[in-house]
């Protein structure tokens, strides 16, 4: 079958895997992953998936909790659409063979009554279905196995996409996305991948910050490529900093699940004193932005390197049953969480914005879709409600699959795509430039565009980011591409989009907190921040 008929999916997390499985019985699918297929934030998601499953819960309750967490910036239509499809998304996962944690005693006669549901910050009900504390791993490994065995799915791991291929850039109109250039990291060759539809399932942007819970692959590639191809982005200023990442020199980006606080974990100072009562009446169950700012404030006030999350007052059996991965990893580092508190710090965790899409996953560029963390659907608003992220991946993957399959069988324009041109570049003779600029970018973003922002800090950040962008563009124009250079080029663009978005928001709302604009703007209704790329001449 012609590659013009295949769907090209860039990314291998829950959004990409579930989309591939929903498409592959009807159309051929080609998947690109920049490392091992499932390496990404989905794999490391600990908490679970939020869904309306219990008799005491309701769509209205989940919708309300999401809208409250989103601080007035959620799109109500997107919220309701996602929540109404939550039950079906969980049933689909169970049908695929995902083993969610069950109750030791049968819970009732309903289809989900035998499953253990936990509660996380911002949720009024227990509605988080999970697989112990490794839900992301359970889902991704189950879906990966089915994807690898599906005869209509072709996998290319260790391939990093460089840029999208559009008909306008090829001199054919009207504009449409018809594929992507990607670097084979093992051979060093750049290849052309076609698609009647191209889907960005590339995840988040955590590596733009010095401290992040995200894996190394989270470099905003899809968002940067979409922007360069002419797509708008939305709400890039809203970066969720997870309050509790393990603070240990040998622990790289290890997340301490919010479910610990949901099950009774307490935040303490080194003295043992609790402090959340000074910040929010919901204490440890306050939304993540509130908890992250509280921890940041206490660390700055007292000059601390970390605070502590204590669950040692619960039984050891309960802890090992519900949090086996966290307990095991901490014990490897000499921390027995059944007897002592866990040292934690906030770290960049989740982007609430991304490439603007509709509820079919369509972007501004025909033929191009975005799903998962790379997309801005309006679900999360100014702050993401815990465990809504995996839900969005599943629901929007289904919506995108439905839209793609409803289109004509041969949507892609039959254009000649030239090979990647390396005739004007050479091998780099100073790789230190990439390493230095990478470090400078991440430190500038952490220092100036972190949990608490000011106008002066944002102005400094923009100057530094734009200077770095000019240096990186010059380097990119003269030397052969490498994985690190591609990621750095994308990250510096992501940094600029975050700063520019933050500068436009003249208020403090949700995850964006400015000392110069500490109050909510009086605009009714509040507006998302939308940026449009400059038009090509």
Q: Which tens digit of pLDDT belongs to each residue from 61-73?
A: 999 999 999 999 9
Who's near 151: CB < 8 A, 6+ residues apart? none
pLDDT of amino acid 82: 98
Q: What torsion, rounded to 10 degrees, do the Cα atoms 48, 50, 52, 57 define?
A: 100
**Closest residue by Cα to residue 534 from 150, 232, 191, 95:** 232
CATH architecture type of domain 244-346: Alpha-Beta Complex (3.90)
Q: Where are the domains of the chain?
A: 1-238+352-414, 244-346, 432-517
pLDDT of amino acid 416: 87
pLDDT of amino acid 1: 42
Examine the pLDDT at 537 and tell me if it is beyond 90. Answer: no
More confident residue, 15 or 251: 15
User: Are the C-beta atoms of residues 292 and 346 closer than 8 Å to each other?
Assistant: yes
Residue 512 sits at φ, ψ, to 5 deg, of: -95, 110
Examine the pLDDT at 172 and tell me if it is beyond 70. Answer: yes
pLDDT of amino acid 107: 66
- Topology of domain 1-238+352-414 in CATH is FAD/NAD(P)-binding domain (3.50.50)
- Poorest-confidence range of 82-91, 165-174, 270-279? 165-174
Summarize the confidence of residues 157-175 as an average pLDDT: 91
Q: What is the DSSP string of 170-219?
A: TT-SS--EEEEEEEETTT--EEEEE-SEEEE-----GGGSSSBSS-TT-S
Summarize the confidence of residues 120-143 as an average pLDDT: 90
Summarize the confidence of residues 465-494 as an average pLDDT: 94
Summarize the confidence of residues 181-209 as an average pLDDT: 96
Q: Which tens digit of pLDDT belongs to each residue from 218-235?
A: 999 999 999 999 999 999
Domain 432-517 has CATH 1.20.58.100: yes
**Active-site entry in 127, 196, 288, 457:** 288
Q: Which tens digit of pLDDT belongs to each residue from 16-60?
A: 999 999 999 999 999 999 998 888 888 877 779 999 998 889 999
Q: Which two tokens stand for residue 41?
A: 């934030």
pLDDT of amino acid 122: 84
The yes-or-no answer on residue 288 being catalytic is yes
Distance between CA atoms of residues 286 and 267, nearest Å:
12
Summarize the confidence of residues 426-449 as an average pLDDT: 87
pLDDT of amino acid 210: 84
Residue 74 sits at φ, ψ, to 5 deg, of: -70, 150
Q: Which tens digit of pLDDT belongs to each residue from 406-428?
A: 986 555 557 889 999 887 878 77
Domains 244-346 and 432-517 are alike in CATH topology: no
Summarize the confidence of residues 499-511 as an average pLDDT: 96
Residue 72 region by backbone torsions, left for phi larger than 0, else alpha for psi between -120 and 50, else beta: left
């Amino acid at each position: 079958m012609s590659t013009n008929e295949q769907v090209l999916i860039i990314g291998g997390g829950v959004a990409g895997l579930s989309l591939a499985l929903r498409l592959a019985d009807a159309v051929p699918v080609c998947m690109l992953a920049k490392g091992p297929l499932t390496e990404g934030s989905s794999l490391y998601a600990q908490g679970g998936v939020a869904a309306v499953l219990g008799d005491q819960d309701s769509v209205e309750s989940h919708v309300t909790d999401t809208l409250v967490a989103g601080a007035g910036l959620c799109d109500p239509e997107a919220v309701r659409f996602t929540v109404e499809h939550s039950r079906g998304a969980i049933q689909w996962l169970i049908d695929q063979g995902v083993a969610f944690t069950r109750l030791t005693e049968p819970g009732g006669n309903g289809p989900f009554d035998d499953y253990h549901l936990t509660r996380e910050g911002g949720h009024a009900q227990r509605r988080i279905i999970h697989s112990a504390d490794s839900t992301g791993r359970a889902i991704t490994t189950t879906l990966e196995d089915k994807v690898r065995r599906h005869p209509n799915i072709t996998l290319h791991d260790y391939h990093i996409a460089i840029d999208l291929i559009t008909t306008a850039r090829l001199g054919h109109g009207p504009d449409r996305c018809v594929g992507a250039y990607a670097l084979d990291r093992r051979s060093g060759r750049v290849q052309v991948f076609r698609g009647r539809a191209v889907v960005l399932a590339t995840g988040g942007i955590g590596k733009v910050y010095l401290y992040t819970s995200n894996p190394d692959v989270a470099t905003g590639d899809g968002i940067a490529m979409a922007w360069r191809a002419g797509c708008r982005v939305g709400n890039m200023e809203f970066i969720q900093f997870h309050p509790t990442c393990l603070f240990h020199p040998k622990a790289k980006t290890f997340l301490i699940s919010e479910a610990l606080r949901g099950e009774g974990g307490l935040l303490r100072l080194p003295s043992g004193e609790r402090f959340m009562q000074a910040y929010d009446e919901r204490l440890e169950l306050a939304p993540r932005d509130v908890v992250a700012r509280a921890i940041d404030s206490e660390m700055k006030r007292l000059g601390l390197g970390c605070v502590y999350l204590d669950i040692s007052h619960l039984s050891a059996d309960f802890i090992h049953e519900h949090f086996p991965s966290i307990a095991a990893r901490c014990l490897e580092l000499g921390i027995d969480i059944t007897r002592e508190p866990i040292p934690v710090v906030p770290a960049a965790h989740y982007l609430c914005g991304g490439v603007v899409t509709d509820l079919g996953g369509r972007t501004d560029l025909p033929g191009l879709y975005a799903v998962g963390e790379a997309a801005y659907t309006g679900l999360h608003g100014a702050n993401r409600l815990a465990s809504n992220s995996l839900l969005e991946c599943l629901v929007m993957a289904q919506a995108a699959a439905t839209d793609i399959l409803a289109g004509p069988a041969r949507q892609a324009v039959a254009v000649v795509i030239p090979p990647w041109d390396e005739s004007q570049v050479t091998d780099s003779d100073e790789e230190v430039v990439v390493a230095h600029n990478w470090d400078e970018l991440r430190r500038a973003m952490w220092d100036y565009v972190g949990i608490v922002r000011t106008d002066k800090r944002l102005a400094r950040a923009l100057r530094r980011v734009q200077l770095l962008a000019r240096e990186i563009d010059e380097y990119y124009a003269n030397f052969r591409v490498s994985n690190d250079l591609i990621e750095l080029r994308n990250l510096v663009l992501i940094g600029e989009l975050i700063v520019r978005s933050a500068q436009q928001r003249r208020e403090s709302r949700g995850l964006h907190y400015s000392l110069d604009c500490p109050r909510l703007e009086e605009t009714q209704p509040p507006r998302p921040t939308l940026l449009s790329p400059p038009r090509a001449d």
